[in-house]
Chains A and B, each alone.
Chain A
Amino acid sequence: MKLLLEINDLGVVYKGRGRRTDKVALDGVSVSIQAGETLGLVGESGSGKSTLGSCVLGLVQPAQGAVIFDGQDITRASGKVRRELSTQIQAVFQDPYSSFNPHRTIEQSVGESLTSVPRLSRGELRSRVVSMLERVGLDRTALPKFPPQFSGGQRQRIAIARALLPEPRLVVCDESVSALDLSVQAQVLNLLLELQRELGVAYLFITHDLAVVRHMSNQIAVLEHGTLVEHGDAIGVTDFPTQPYTRRLLRASPQSDPDVQDARRRTRRAIAGLSGASAAGPVSGVDILRALESQAVAESMAETSAIDTTVFETALTRLEAEPVDSARVVELRAAIPEMAARTRFDGIPDSARSAADTARLDLCAELTRNGRTEGFADRCRALSSAIKSGDRERAMDLVAVLDDSDDSAPIRQGSSRGQRE
């Protein structure tokens, strides 16, 4: 398919004034968008994601690189070319309050995006504005009203109406839903998706919210301090991130499942504890390993992330088929964090990862030495069936007692304490 927008090696420097030094906002970023598709741009504040949007809109002049729209270089387009482009490229900004002039009516504000279209009669303009307003769920009674008379969600709908009125081919959505409540956000996201299906418009979707960007995008680009750190297929980037920064972002974004949240927090704390940054005091590799294991089970029971228990199942069957040695036990145990996408990478700091690996080897060696591998395998089988049957509580209990002595019944979560040191 043809590329609608190509951004090549874009660099932006904000000149420092007075004592302030120059600030590099973007450094050699290249991304592209195909017609009718969505490119998600994620990053934290200061990552340069909004600057990139501003370059596309011609609001910021890049120091280097090129912005190519539909084969035409618009990096330094003149005012006249820009005005002509305004029917092709539009924008929906974050703040539904300051994106409208409070002194102008909705009709004036929405109609503004057709200013550059010549020979449009007043009646024609009004009828197009009305049909667009109706399309976003408002009606003609909105025309003579002023922005403060509308709620945040309604204003964002009006902003979308204004952006889509000239039937553009690309809309830059800069944090367009960040200021909205969850339920209103869902309504506005649906509206954007529907309009994309109907009109074939492409979006450059800029946000800090990973869940939202995953929901909206075909491709995702992750920015950190002005550089592109990861770029690829939306599901790939969010489920199998390769870069530490993306992983950190994913780890930090909360999910509405308390078990998962608990487990993630334990992992976070264990990792922080290893580097001495936690108030909870020093932490051993065993803590990290256990945190990772229970997180893996919690994540897979929450049914929202990509779960893959095949490695675990394979290791389990291999344990049955052949004589059990320490290596097989380690293999089985190592398969637990592989179950959930998050825990596959959640141990990221290398020091934490290696501490957990060492702890795993030690624990498994101890199991073999004491001849308790059979009990361990039983508990793993029970865990496997609990996961398959969706028995969340049993699975969570089981993963907590993997190292328990064989005769103790695997019920209580805290009973593994004695084995820890």
Chain B
Amino acid sequence: MSAVVESVPSRSDAGGTVDRNVSFVRRMLKQPVTAVCSVALVIIVFSTVLAPVIAPFGPLEQDLLNAHSGPSAQNLLGTDQLGRDIFSRLLYGGQVTLLGVFQSVVVCTVIGMVLGVAAGALGGWVEVATMRICDILLAVPGLVILLVVLAIFGQNESAAMITFGIIMSPTLIRVVYSATVAVREELYVAGARVAGLTSRQIMTRHLLPAIAGPALTQISIVAAVSCLAGAAIGFLGLGVAPPNPTWGNMVNDAQMAIVLNPWMLVPTGGIIAVVALSLTLMGNGIRDAYAGRSSGSTSAFNWRALLARVTQKETIEPRETETSTEIHRASAVLEVDSLSVALPKGGDEVKIVDGVSFSVAPGESLGIVGESGCGKSMTISGVLRVPPLGAHISAASIAFNGTELTSLSEEGMNAYRGTGIGFISQEPISSLNPAYTVGHQLTEAVQLHRKVGRAHARRIALELMTRVRLPEPEVVANKYPHELSGGMAQRIAIARALAGEPKLLIADEPTTALDVSVQAEILDLLSDLREQSGMALILVTHDWGVVAEACDRAVVMYAGEVVENADVRTLVRKPKHPYAQALLRSSSVGTAPRELLPVIPGAVPPPGSWPNGCRFADRCEFVEERCTSAPIRLVHTADDTSARCVRVTPILQGVK
């Protein structure tokens, strides 16, 4: 069989690898803040439950002689106006307050989960009805309802807190609902149905784990707010009546004695603050732990990556500047010499792009070809200097129209992005801002690059839209990105790239997401624009058809290196590098129907595990001993043609 075990790339990021098998709870407790909060909450809850055992005094035990005393060995947190021990009262009072929190959380959770999941999973009238109920509940003033309930049930704290849980439920319903809808759309849920799982199995295996994260976060927020609400009820004297303690009416006591004994406010207000804060922070911890479970990282925010970014500018330094002058082609629009891009990994750097050189002449179209993971897109972000956070770019020279880009500051570089060099991406719709009409965005781009007035810019924008052959530019200009088809959005993206009248347009897989007939139109458009304006084009693609259609020259990349650089006709007819040959062969799909295709065994080695010798060696059918011993140099085989293979000369002789 043809299938070969592919090497499993270990997935990791700047935050370091994470054992995904570690339980959720352990990952949560690995976060110091969450761990401290959890411990604090556990201690507080247990102490209040065990109040009769722990408390040194009864909650109502008075010692009038010892009123308003500060903390002492006997009264750990001092005493109040009646000489009651504040510590003991806090423990007993916590029973009432925390029970209230528990009641409202349970009510809110039950309502939120049931209605949220039902609305999300069932859709139809259930969805509509639930969402309307949410709207109504959100519109009703919660405090008024609480007061009404308290008036009816007469200082019944439980009734108040249960009502509060209901009042808080719409937010949770919405969170659960949207999480459910998101999962419902996932292919793996469709897959599970195809696999014959029952609804209940889908619910427990796929749905609940996915909504647990956002739901738990929301529930912890509900708990924190309930704690504050319970305290507020007590403070207003509407809950459990004094002299029985609650955290709320203890704050009230403290407030009345604020001049006489300001200390009283510290433990009573403090405990409420600690509980509410702990609950909120725990919510954050739960969210991060869940985010870590799907992304492989423990923290959603990575400080190290941010720090690396700050030093990024300084690390761009021209290297061996003197070598760049000799191969400088005066005519080239863009001349890239030995560009490398490295990303931080652990404490180290891993090269993604390794010493890539190429040049583009005015009006020329250069293809950058290769499989994913070969560094094509990273090369482009290196040239435009928009790499991922923490990346290290180095190059002997990146010359655009005679200007050395590597020596420019970030501001200097900005003057070239868009104006000198235009860029269009693979995802046309997501490259546009959904909040503004496309006409507005185009006008903005024109204003930015051409320094003209708004009305004039609008006119130019409409002209650009005509140039990219959008029918009825006036109509399209008033549309929002989501109202456009992929092909139209890509035309807008091209028009925007043209706003700065660029000398070079870089297109990263511009047609991959489009239908074939639209792809042909877009490629035709790019060719026409090139002919009309003499603009050069760099086209990143993995499709040989696109290369043949739209490029004059092509650079084939493999594992971060250029392995072949040639005129497209020469490259397609007589590829020199075995990788280029094999890649072309595997595009012969359709020529011999239902026969096995010639395949390249194995997979591209991931960055960081590139061999010292030829990087294609372990997949190459011509591999020899000299291939693996030392790095292979890029050999010029003809003017403007080069290949990185030890066999290059013999292959040339063999062909005639």
Contact in complex: B205, A101 (CB < 8 Å): yes
Contact in complex: A253, B196 (CB < 8 Å): no
Say which residue of A138, A182, A212 sits within 8 Å of B590 (CB atoms): A212
Q: Provide the residues of chain B in CB contact with A388, threshold 8 Å.
A: none
Taking the complex as formed, is B475 at the interface, i.e. its CB lies under 8 A from any CB of chain A? no
Contact in complex: A137, B197 (CB < 8 Å): no
* Nearest CB of chain A from residue B549's CB, rounded to whole Å: 4
- Residue of chain B at shortest CB distance from A141: B8
Contact with B along A100-116 (1 / 0, CB 8 A): 11111000110011011
Contact with B along A239-252 (1 / 0, CB 8 A): 00000000011011
Contact with A along B570-606 (1 / 0, CB 8 A): 0010000000001110111111111011111001000
Report how far A141 CA is from B8 CA in the complex, Å: 10
Say which residue of B6, B515, B596 sits within 8 Å of A154 (CB atoms): B6
Taking the complex as formed, is A376 at the interface, i.e. its CB lies under 8 A from any CB of chain B? no
Q: Provide the residues of chain B in CB contact with A215, threshold 8 Å.
A: 589-590, 592-594, 597
Contact in complex: A258, B572 (CB < 8 Å): yes
Some 14 contacts from A to B, beta carbons below 8 A apart, are A98-B187, A99-B191, A101-B205, A112-B205, A115-B195, A116-B195, A148-B294, A182-B371, A183-B582, A186-B599, A208-B515, A210-B516, A261-B549, A268-B520
Taking the complex as formed, is B372 at the interface, i.e. its CB lies under 8 A from any CB of chain A? yes
Taking the complex as formed, is A314 at the interface, i.e. its CB lies under 8 A from any CB of chain B? no
- Residue of chain A at shortest CB distance from B183: A101
Contact in complex: B3, A190 (CB < 8 Å): yes
Contact in complex: A184, B371 (CB < 8 Å): yes
Size range of the chain A interface in the assembly:
35 or more
Contact in complex: A98, B188 (CB < 8 Å): yes
Contact with B along A46-80 (1 / 0, CB 8 A): 00000000100111000000000000000000010
Which of A86-94, A317-325, A358-366, A406-414 lies at the interface with chain B?
A86-94
Q: A210-B516, A234-B593, A265-B549 are in contact. Are A190 and B188 (CB under 8 A)?
A: no
Size range of the chain B interface in the assembly:
35 or more
Report how far A184 CA is from B583 CA in the complex, Å: 10
Report how far A115 CA is from B197 CA in the complex, Å: 7
Chain A to chain B: the 6 pairs with minimum beta-carbon distance, closest first: A254-B545, A86-B196, A137-B3, A256-B544, A116-B196, A211-B590
Contact in complex: A194, B294 (CB < 8 Å): no
Say which residue of A142, A182, A190, A209 sits within 8 Å of B2 (CB atoms): A190
* Nearest CB of chain B from residue A88's CB, rounded to whole Å: 10
* Nearest CB of chain A from residue B131's CB, rounded to whole Å: 13
Contact in complex: B516, A103 (CB < 8 Å): no
Q: Provide the residues of chain A in CB contact with B191, threshold 8 Å.
A: 91, 93, 99-100, 112, 162
Taking the complex as formed, is B4 at the interface, i.e. its CB lies under 8 A from any CB of chain A? yes
In this complex, the member of B195, B201, B548, B572 whose beta carbon has the largest number of chain A beta carbons within 10 angstroms is B195
Q: Provide the residues of chain B in CB contact with A253, threshold 8 Å.
A: 516, 545
Q: Provide the residues of chain A in CB contact with B205, threshold 8 Å.
A: 101, 104, 108, 112
Report how far A85 CA is from B196 CA in the complex, Å: 8
Q: Provide the residues of chain A in CB contact with B583, threshold 8 Å.
A: 182-183
Contact in complex: A89, B569 (CB < 8 Å): no
Report how far A85 CA is from B194 CA in the complex, Å: 9
Contact in complex: A86, B195 (CB < 8 Å): yes
Q: A91-B194, A162-B195, A182-B544 are in contact. Are A258 and B516 (CB under 8 A)?
A: no
Which of B39-47, B355-363, B524-532 lies at the interface with chain A?
B524-532
Taking the complex as formed, is B296 at the interface, i.e. its CB lies under 8 A from any CB of chain A? yes
Taking the complex as formed, is B517 at the interface, i.e. its CB lies under 8 A from any CB of chain A? yes
Taking the complex as formed, is A185 at the interface, i.e. its CB lies under 8 A from any CB of chain B? yes
Q: Provide the residues of chain A in CB contact with B196, threshold 8 Å.
A: 82-87, 113, 115-116
Taking the complex as formed, is B399 at the interface, i.e. its CB lies under 8 A from any CB of chain A? no
Interface residues in A122-179 (C-beta closer than 8 Å to B): 136-139, 141-142, 144-146, 148-154, 157, 162
Q: Provide the residues of chain A in CB contact with B568, threshold 8 Å.
A: 258
Contact in complex: A194, B1 (CB < 8 Å): yes
Taking the complex as formed, is A235 at the interface, i.e. its CB lies under 8 A from any CB of chain B? yes
Taking the complex as formed, is A24 at the interface, i.e. its CB lies under 8 A from any CB of chain B? no
User: 20 new A-B pairs (CB below 8 Å) besides A154-B6, A184-B603, A215-B597?
Assistant: A45-B486, A87-B196, A104-B205, A137-B5, A144-B21, A145-B8, A181-B372, A183-B583, A183-B599, A183-B600, A187-B2, A193-B594, A194-B1, A238-B590, A254-B543, A254-B546, A256-B545, A256-B587, A265-B527, A279-B528
Taking the complex as formed, is B417 at the interface, i.e. its CB lies under 8 A from any CB of chain A? no
Q: Provide the residues of chain B in CB contact with A193, threshold 8 Å.
A: 594, 596
